[in-house]
Amino acid sequence: MTQTLPQELEQLEATEFDAGLVFSGAASGNMVRGYSSPCSCTPVADSTYIFHESARDVVVWFMNKLDPLYLYGPAGCGKSSLVKQLAARLNYPVFNVTAHGRMEFSDLTGHVSLQKGNMVYQYGPLALAMRYGALFIMDEVDLLPPEVAAGLNGILEGQPLCLPENGGELIHPSPMFRFACTANTNGNGDDTGLYQATLRMNLAWQDRFMVSSVDYPAADVEKALLARLFPTLPDSITSKMVDFANEVRGLFMGTSDTSINTMEATLSTRTLIRWADLTLKFQPLTHQGIQPLSYTLDRALAFRTAPSTRAMLHELVQRVFPVENVSLGE
pLDDT at residue 258, rounded to an integer: 59
Strand segments (E) across 144-265: 161-163, 169-171, 178-183, 210-213
pLDDT at residue 256, rounded to an integer: 67
Q: For residue 324, is pLDDT > 50?
A: no
**Domain extents for the chain?**
5-213, 219-325
Q: Using one digit for the tens of pLDDT, what is the confidence trace for 242-285?
A: 999 999 998 887 776 655 456 778 899 989 999 999 999 999 98
CA distances from 195 to 76, 182, 183 (A): 13, 14, 10
Whether this model's pTM surpasses 0.85 = yes
Residue 163 · residue 127 · CB < 8 Å = yes
Which carries the bigger pLDDT value, residue 325 or residue 241?
241
CA distances from 212 to 52, 67, 69, 71 (A): 14, 12, 8, 5
End-to-end CA distance of the chain: 51
Eight-class DSSP state of 239: H
H or E stretch at 94:
strand 94-98
The pLDDT > 70 percentage for the chain reads 95
Which carries the bigger pLDDT value, residue 205 or residue 137?
137
* 5-213 CATH, one of 3.40.50.150, 3.40.50.300, 3.30.70.2740, 2.10.109.10: 3.40.50.300
pLDDT at residue 2, rounded to an integer: 62
Q: Using one digit for the tens of pLDDT, what is the confidence trace for 172-202?
A: 999 999 999 999 999 998 877 778 778 899 8
Q: Using one digit for the tens of pLDDT, what is the confidence trace for 128-139?
A: 999 999 999 999
pLDDT at residue 103, rounded to an integer: 96
Report, in angstroms and rounded to the nearest whole number, the Rg of the chain calculated over CA atoms: 23
Which carries the bigger pLDDT value, residue 149 or residue 1?
149
Phi-psi region of 277 (alpha: psi -120 to 50; beta: other; left: phi over 0): alpha
Q: Using one digit for the tens of pLDDT, what is the confidence trace for 55-71?
A: 999 999 999 989 999 99
| Four-point Cα dihedral 73, 76, 78, 80, nearest 10 | 80
Report the mean per-residue pLDDT for the chain.
91
